[in-house]
Chain A
């Protein structure tokens, strides 16, 4: 090789910063958590963590047993004794809310895990296979997508007299897996045709390694987003079913609180009974939506920067939608004044009509 070419290559060779250390499994896992590191995701995760703590520490936080009746203190507004007031038979609403968190989160997580596992198995398999096998799996998930979920859940749940938790979770998961499966199938199909997967196949990688080691890490963001979305649907579904009364009231969650509130004419006067439950459901939903926003921005940087770029331009007096880019000549005074952002001499054009 000639000397100039060698120099060229030497320039290209990466010599500047010191080499990074060997990436362990944990550091790689930490790196993939980058999708959660922006402000939106972090806020959502914190809110969710607080609710989880409340659920775990319920006996410590709740001042009363949720079903303990204080018949001399019915329908009391919030006070120091009863932070969120009492129900029509004197139960402490605050304790009910605290214990209700368990019902919501446990069933919510369980249903979501079930749904996500099914979605991954069906979706990735359908995406990797070709032909009729893929089509039939896809048709299966489309059927479950089209069939309206709530009526199906109502019918199935009402057949049980007193279903255990995991059955309720299964019913919720049954209606929630299809969306994730569909998204994963599409993503897997596009991944499968990427060159690095072809290279792995050409290298003779066994199938299980291609799916688990090569494909799955690239699907993590989609899976995380699908998990979060499914959990939102599961929480909403659970509380709705409880409110309708289809799920037996032995399972205490925020929906059951609302069920009792409505049955006993708490509206509109006894706001402390029904407002906290709805707000908490909404808060969990917001937390999950924030996490999802964060993941979205991580995956699609366009969303992240679009607003910032526009704001930065607007500060300089430029319109992002202007048809012609402006030519800025610095005003005569700018030579003494180092700040360049004087819009006085701006030749910005309005969009041509």
Chain B
């Protein structure tokens, strides 16, 4: 059981000439194994900043991030251990894979870096990972990213993220850039993997509907501040914050639509 605590994190960027930007303002949440948190917010709300802080591409200005009670080390072996425990799936399947290298290279690197399996078994492990994300290893391994579709690339990104057997996964808008018809497949894949491996998943999205479908808890971000945090159904059905209510009203809900249409039709008669 791994626990990640994001405690009162504030992130301030200094912009030359125009002062400061508060990307995050006193945000807190706890991510545990076997649990999914949906992080919902529009562009500029601070979602990506959280992802960057979690993957150590940025550091908090105030507050701290604790893994199993200890702060994240700044360097050395401790940082490597932390990185092995938390992996990220990026948003853009076209940009998150190096166009020059084969799929095999992408999935192999984490295995080699973290010495997950002995070097003799690396090939077999790459195949196993690709099969787990429902890709045919023989067809895909020697290809380059531009020869695959967006959905396939995102699956490769997931395989790469899972290679080091992390306890926690950050998925930064994993399906936003995919065709709508492919989104459910990838999301269901993530849900299955989470169940199988007991991952803790932070699912970042701007889409309230998929967040509800996929997460146990939901946190709503508005301009760097967490305006709502609680169990998914609670947040959706009984939103306390006006921003959350606006979000909910903005996403079309078929059930609601037909119910309203039926009521109006009934009233008109």
The answer to whether A and B assemble together is yes
Q: Which residues of A contact B (CB under 8 A)?
A: 1, 5, 8-9, 12-15, 19-23, 194-196, 198-205, 214, 217-218
Nearest 4 pairs between A and B by C-beta?
Answer: A195-B96, A217-B100, A14-B139, A195-B95
Once the chains bind, are B142 and A12 in contact (CB under 8 Å)?
no
Query: A20: which B residues are within 8 A, CB to CB?
Result: 142-143
A177 to B181, CA, bound (A): 51
Query: A23: which B residues are within 8 A, CB to CB?
Result: 102, 142
How far apart are B171's CB and chain A's nearest CB, in angstroms? 13
Once the chains bind, are A13 and B134 in contact (CB under 8 Å)?
yes
Q: Which residues of B contact A (CB under 8 A)?
A: 55-57, 79-80, 83-84, 87-88, 90-92, 95-102, 109-110, 113-114, 134-136, 138-143, 148-149, 151-152, 157, 160, 164, 181-182, 184-185, 188, 192
> Among the listed A14, A199, A201, which residue makes an inter-chain contact with B96, where contact means beta carbons less than 8 Å apart?
A199
How far apart are B192's CB and chain A's nearest CB, in angstroms? 7
Total cross-chain contacts (CB, 8 A): 90
A45 to B182, CA, bound (A): 46
Query: B84: which A residues are within 8 A, CB to CB?
Result: 204
Name which of A15, A21, A196, A198 has the most chain B CB atoms within 10 A of its CB: A196
Asked whether A15 and B139 contact (CB < 8 A) given A23-B102, A205-B109, A218-B99, the answer is yes
A64 to B134, CA, bound (A): 72
Asked whether A5 and B141 contact (CB < 8 A) given A23-B102, A194-B95, A195-B95, the answer is no
Once the chains bind, are B143 and A196 in contact (CB under 8 Å)?
no
How far apart are B118's CB and chain A's nearest CB, in angstroms? 19
A20 to B148, CA, bound (A): 13
How far apart are B215's CB and chain A's nearest CB, in angstroms? 19
Query: B139: which A residues are within 8 A, CB to CB?
Result: 13-15, 19
How far apart are A205's CB and chain B's nearest CB, in angstroms? 7
Query: B56: which A residues are within 8 A, CB to CB?
Result: 202
Chosen A-B contacts, 9 in total, with CB atoms closer than 8 Å, are A1-B192, A9-B185, A198-B90, A202-B88, A203-B113, A203-B164, A204-B113, A214-B101, A217-B98
Once the chains bind, are A21 and B142 in contact (CB under 8 Å)?
yes
Once the chains bind, are B100 and A12 in contact (CB under 8 Å)?
no
Query: In the complex, given contacts A19-B141, A203-B113, A218-B98, what are 11 additional A-B residue pairs having Cβ atoms less than 8 angstroms apart?
Result: A8-B181, A14-B135, A14-B152, A20-B143, A23-B102, A196-B99, A199-B88, A202-B88, A203-B109, A203-B110, A214-B98
